[in-house]
Chain A
Amino acid sequence: AQSVTQLGSHVSVSEGALVLLRCNYSSSVPPYLFWYVQYPNQGLQLLLKYTSAATLVKGINGFEAEFKKSETSFHLTKPSAHMSDAAEYFCAVGGRPYSGGYQKVTFGTGTKLQVIP
Protein backbone atom coordinates (compact mmCIF):
# COMPACT_ATOMS: atom_id res chain seq x y z
CA ALA A 1 0.00 0.00 0.00
CA GLN A 2 1.18 3.52 -0.68
CA SER A 3 -0.09 7.01 -0.05
CA VAL A 4 0.96 10.63 -0.26
CA THR A 5 0.07 13.55 1.97
CA GLN A 6 0.62 17.10 0.82
CA LEU A 7 0.46 19.59 3.66
CA GLY A 8 -1.29 22.77 2.66
CA SER A 9 -3.72 22.91 -0.22
CA HIS A 10 -2.77 26.56 -0.82
CA VAL A 11 0.60 28.22 -0.37
CA SER A 12 1.28 31.90 -1.00
CA VAL A 13 4.75 33.38 -1.36
CA SER A 14 6.09 36.72 -2.47
CA GLU A 15 8.01 36.96 -5.70
CA GLY A 16 11.65 36.29 -4.91
CA ALA A 17 10.91 34.39 -1.69
CA LEU A 18 11.66 30.77 -0.91
CA VAL A 19 9.14 28.22 -2.11
CA LEU A 20 8.58 25.18 0.14
CA LEU A 21 5.89 22.64 -0.70
CA ARG A 22 5.60 19.72 1.69
CA CYS A 23 5.07 16.08 0.86
CA ASN A 24 5.09 13.01 3.09
CA TYR A 25 4.72 9.52 1.74
CA SER A 26 3.91 6.05 2.90
CA SER A 27 5.10 3.00 1.04
CA SER A 28 5.64 -0.67 1.90
CA VAL A 29 8.56 -0.86 -0.53
CA PRO A 30 11.38 1.56 -1.34
CA PRO A 31 9.56 4.22 -3.29
CA TYR A 32 9.91 6.15 -6.45
CA LEU A 33 8.85 9.75 -5.76
CA PHE A 34 7.80 12.46 -8.17
CA TRP A 35 6.75 16.07 -8.29
CA TYR A 36 4.51 17.19 -11.11
CA VAL A 37 3.29 20.68 -11.99
CA GLN A 38 -0.04 21.55 -13.59
CA TYR A 39 -0.55 24.96 -15.14
CA PRO A 40 -4.13 26.18 -15.64
CA ASN A 41 -6.03 24.18 -18.23
CA GLN A 42 -3.07 21.94 -18.98
CA GLY A 43 -1.94 18.41 -18.24
CA LEU A 44 0.62 17.47 -15.61
CA GLN A 45 4.30 17.90 -16.37
CA LEU A 46 7.13 16.17 -14.54
CA LEU A 47 9.30 18.51 -12.44
CA LEU A 48 11.64 15.94 -10.93
CA LYS A 49 11.85 12.37 -9.72
CA TYR A 50 13.66 10.36 -7.04
CA THR A 51 14.84 6.88 -7.95
CA SER A 52 17.37 6.20 -5.15
CA ALA A 53 20.40 7.45 -7.07
CA ALA A 54 20.76 10.62 -4.99
CA THR A 55 18.75 12.01 -2.12
CA LEU A 56 18.87 15.59 -3.43
CA VAL A 57 17.16 15.75 -6.77
CA LYS A 58 17.29 18.72 -9.10
CA GLY A 59 14.52 19.34 -11.56
CA ILE A 60 13.41 21.83 -14.15
CA ASN A 61 12.76 25.53 -13.59
CA GLY A 62 15.13 25.71 -10.59
CA PHE A 63 13.16 23.32 -8.38
CA GLU A 64 14.74 20.65 -6.22
CA ALA A 65 13.58 18.11 -3.66
CA GLU A 66 15.29 16.14 -0.92
CA PHE A 67 14.40 12.56 -0.04
CA LYS A 68 14.53 11.98 3.72
CA LYS A 69 13.82 8.39 4.56
CA SER A 70 13.79 8.95 8.33
CA GLU A 71 11.10 11.58 7.93
CA THR A 72 9.34 9.87 4.98
CA SER A 73 9.38 13.24 3.27
CA PHE A 74 10.08 14.60 -0.18
CA HIS A 75 9.61 18.35 0.09
CA LEU A 76 9.90 20.58 -2.97
CA THR A 77 11.87 23.81 -2.80
CA LYS A 78 12.93 26.70 -4.98
CA PRO A 79 15.18 29.48 -3.65
CA SER A 80 13.41 32.35 -5.38
CA ALA A 81 9.81 32.29 -6.58
CA HIS A 82 8.88 33.67 -9.96
CA MET A 83 5.46 34.74 -11.11
CA SER A 84 5.50 31.95 -13.68
CA ASP A 85 5.73 29.38 -10.87
CA ALA A 86 2.08 29.94 -9.98
CA ALA A 87 0.45 26.56 -10.60
CA GLU A 88 -0.82 23.39 -8.92
CA TYR A 89 1.88 21.01 -7.70
CA PHE A 90 1.38 17.30 -7.15
CA CYS A 91 3.57 14.91 -5.22
CA ALA A 92 3.32 11.26 -6.25
CA VAL A 93 4.64 7.91 -5.08
CA GLY A 94 5.15 4.68 -7.00
CA GLY A 95 6.28 1.34 -5.68
CA ARG A 96 9.25 -0.42 -7.16
CA PRO A 97 8.23 -2.80 -9.94
CA TYR A 98 8.60 -6.50 -9.33
CA SER A 99 9.33 -8.98 -12.05
CA GLY A 100 6.75 -8.65 -14.77
CA GLY A 101 4.60 -6.48 -12.52
CA TYR A 102 3.38 -2.98 -12.84
CA GLN A 103 2.46 -0.83 -9.92
CA LYS A 104 0.36 2.26 -10.06
CA VAL A 105 1.46 5.75 -9.10
CA THR A 106 -0.56 7.42 -6.35
CA PHE A 107 -0.91 11.19 -6.46
CA GLY A 108 -1.34 13.61 -3.60
CA THR A 109 -4.22 16.05 -3.46
CA GLY A 110 -2.15 18.91 -4.81
CA THR A 111 -0.90 22.26 -3.52
CA LYS A 112 -1.83 25.44 -5.30
CA LEU A 113 1.06 27.89 -5.30
CA GLN A 114 0.24 31.57 -5.49
CA VAL A 115 3.06 34.04 -6.15
CA ILE A 116 2.41 37.59 -4.99
CA PRO A 117 4.14 40.41 -6.87
Chain B
Amino acid sequence: DTAVSQTPKYLVTQMGNDKSIKCEQNLGHDTMYWYKQDSKKFLKIMFSYNNKELIINETVPNRFSPKSPDKAHLNLHINSLELGDSAVYFCASSPPPGQGAYEQYFGPGTRLTVT
Protein backbone atom coordinates (compact mmCIF):
# COMPACT_ATOMS: atom_id res chain seq x y z
CA ASP B 1 0.00 0.00 0.00
CA THR B 2 1.30 3.42 -0.95
CA ALA B 3 1.67 5.62 2.13
CA VAL B 4 1.82 9.01 0.40
CA SER B 5 0.67 9.19 -3.19
CA GLN B 6 0.68 12.04 -5.69
CA THR B 7 -0.96 12.52 -9.05
CA PRO B 8 0.11 13.11 -11.68
CA LYS B 9 3.73 11.94 -11.66
CA TYR B 10 4.60 14.07 -14.66
CA LEU B 11 2.96 17.29 -15.77
CA VAL B 12 3.94 19.20 -18.89
CA THR B 13 2.08 22.40 -19.61
CA GLN B 14 2.43 25.81 -21.19
CA MET B 15 2.99 29.17 -19.57
CA GLY B 16 -0.17 30.83 -18.38
CA ASN B 17 -2.08 27.62 -17.78
CA ASP B 18 -3.61 26.57 -14.46
CA LYS B 19 -2.87 23.12 -13.06
CA SER B 20 -3.43 21.07 -9.93
CA ILE B 21 -1.46 18.37 -8.16
CA LYS B 22 -3.20 15.99 -5.79
CA CYS B 23 -1.80 14.31 -2.70
CA GLU B 24 -3.25 11.65 -0.44
CA GLN B 25 -1.82 9.89 2.60
CA ASN B 26 -3.15 6.76 4.28
CA LEU B 27 -0.92 6.95 7.36
CA GLY B 28 -3.47 8.66 9.56
CA HIS B 29 -1.18 11.68 9.99
CA ASP B 30 -2.59 15.08 10.86
CA THR B 31 0.14 17.17 9.24
CA MET B 32 0.89 17.46 5.53
CA TYR B 33 3.37 19.52 3.52
CA TRP B 34 4.22 20.71 0.05
CA TYR B 35 7.87 21.08 -0.94
CA LYS B 36 9.48 22.37 -4.12
CA GLN B 37 12.74 20.79 -5.29
CA ASP B 38 14.58 22.77 -7.93
CA SER B 39 16.99 21.52 -10.57
CA LYS B 40 19.88 21.69 -8.09
CA LYS B 41 17.99 19.41 -5.70
CA PHE B 42 17.39 22.21 -3.21
CA LEU B 43 14.31 21.33 -1.19
CA LYS B 44 12.19 24.21 0.10
CA ILE B 45 9.02 24.03 2.10
CA MET B 46 6.04 25.83 0.65
CA PHE B 47 3.07 25.04 2.88
CA SER B 48 2.08 22.92 5.83
CA TYR B 49 -1.39 21.97 7.02
CA ASN B 50 -2.40 20.40 10.30
CA ASN B 51 -5.81 18.77 10.28
CA LYS B 52 -6.98 20.98 7.40
CA GLU B 53 -5.62 24.18 8.98
CA LEU B 54 -2.78 26.13 7.37
CA ILE B 55 0.16 26.35 9.81
CA ILE B 56 3.14 27.18 7.59
CA ASN B 57 3.02 29.47 4.61
CA GLU B 58 6.43 30.36 3.31
CA THR B 59 7.05 33.18 0.90
CA VAL B 60 5.28 31.64 -2.03
CA PRO B 61 3.55 33.59 -4.82
CA ASN B 62 -0.18 33.75 -4.32
CA ARG B 63 -0.55 31.95 -7.65
CA PHE B 64 -0.01 28.85 -5.50
CA SER B 65 -3.03 27.86 -3.46
CA PRO B 66 -3.13 24.75 -1.29
CA LYS B 67 -6.42 23.13 -0.40
CA SER B 68 -7.05 20.47 2.22
CA PRO B 69 -10.54 18.96 1.96
CA ASP B 70 -9.75 16.58 4.81
CA LYS B 71 -6.68 15.66 6.81
CA ALA B 72 -5.74 12.85 4.41
CA HIS B 73 -5.61 15.10 1.35
CA LEU B 74 -3.62 18.19 0.45
CA ASN B 75 -3.88 19.49 -3.09
CA LEU B 76 -1.86 22.21 -4.76
CA HIS B 77 -3.35 24.48 -7.39
CA ILE B 78 -1.13 26.73 -9.44
CA ASN B 79 -2.50 29.60 -11.51
CA SER B 80 -0.83 31.34 -14.43
CA LEU B 81 2.12 28.99 -14.59
CA GLU B 82 5.56 30.48 -15.24
CA LEU B 83 8.80 28.96 -16.51
CA GLY B 84 10.30 29.29 -13.02
CA ASP B 85 7.65 26.99 -11.62
CA SER B 86 9.31 24.05 -13.35
CA ALA B 87 10.48 21.76 -10.56
CA VAL B 88 9.65 18.59 -8.72
CA TYR B 89 6.92 19.06 -6.13
CA PHE B 90 6.81 16.72 -3.17
CA CYS B 91 3.99 16.11 -0.79
CA ALA B 92 4.83 14.79 2.68
CA SER B 93 3.08 13.96 5.91
CA SER B 94 4.17 13.57 9.51
CA PRO B 95 2.76 12.44 12.84
CA PRO B 96 2.02 15.12 15.46
CA PRO B 97 4.72 16.37 17.84
CA GLY B 98 5.63 13.75 20.42
CA GLN B 99 4.82 10.88 18.10
CA GLY B 100 7.65 11.01 15.62
CA ALA B 101 9.69 14.15 16.04
CA TYR B 102 8.67 15.61 12.69
CA GLU B 103 9.76 12.51 10.83
CA GLN B 104 8.30 13.07 7.40
CA TYR B 105 7.03 10.61 4.85
CA PHE B 106 7.39 11.75 1.27
CA GLY B 107 5.41 11.02 -1.83
CA PRO B 108 7.12 10.07 -5.10
CA GLY B 109 7.00 13.61 -6.46
CA THR B 110 5.39 15.38 -9.40
CA ARG B 111 7.75 16.66 -12.06
CA LEU B 112 6.25 19.85 -13.47
CA THR B 113 7.64 21.21 -16.71
CA VAL B 114 6.42 24.57 -17.96
CA THR B 115 7.18 25.37 -21.59
Which residues of A are at the interface with B, using a C-beta cutoff of 8 A?
A: 32, 34, 36, 38, 41-46, 49, 51, 88, 90, 94, 97, 102-107, 109-110, 112
Q: Are A105 and B104 in contact (CB under 8 A)?
A: yes
Asked if A42 and B109 sit within 8 Å, CB to CB, the answer is: yes
Assembled-state Cα–Cα distance A31/B55 (Å): 20
> For this complex, into which size category does the number of interface residues on chain B fall?
20 to 34
Q: In the complex, which residue of chain A has the Cβ closest to the Cβ of B104?
A: A105
Q: How many angstroms between the C-alpha atoms of A88 and B92 in the bound complex?
A: 18
Residues of B within 8 A of A41 (CB): 108-109
Whether a CB of chain A sits under 8 angstroms from the CB of B101 is: yes
Q: Is the CB of A105 within 8 A of B45?
A: yes
- Known contacts A42-B109, A46-B104, A49-B103; A104 and B56 CB within 8 A of each other: yes
* A104 with B4, Cβ < 8 A, contacts A42-B108, A43-B90 known: no
- Label chain A's interface by main secondary structure: strand
- Residues from chain A with Cβ under 8 Å of B55 in the complex: 102
Contact B106 A110 (CB under 8 A): no
- Name which residue of chain B comes closest to A100, CB basis: B97
Q: Looking across the interface, which residue of chain A has its beta carbon closest to that of B106?
A: A43
**Which of A32, A45, A94 sits near B106, CB closer than 8 Å?**
A45
Q: Which of B36-44, B59-67, B68-76 makes up part of the contact surface?
A: B36-44
> Which residues does chain A contribute within 8 Å of B92, judged by CB atoms?
43-44
* Given A43-B108, A102-B48, A102-B97, CB of A32 within 8 Å of CB of B41: no
Give the shortest distance, in Å, between B42 (CB) and chain A (any CB): 6
Contacts of B50 in A (CB 8 A): 102
- B103 with A46: CB separation less than 8 A: yes
For B42, B55, B101, B109, the residue with the greatest tally of chain A CB atoms inside 10 Å of its CB is: B101
Q: Are B31 and A102 in contact (CB under 8 A)?
A: yes
Measured between beta carbons, the chain B residues less than 8 angstroms from A45 are 106
Give every chain A residue within 8 A of B42 (Cβ-Cβ).
109-110
Q: Are B102 and A94 in contact (CB under 8 A)?
A: yes
**Complex contact A34–B43 (CB within 8 A):** no
CB pair B41 A109 closer than 8 Å? yes
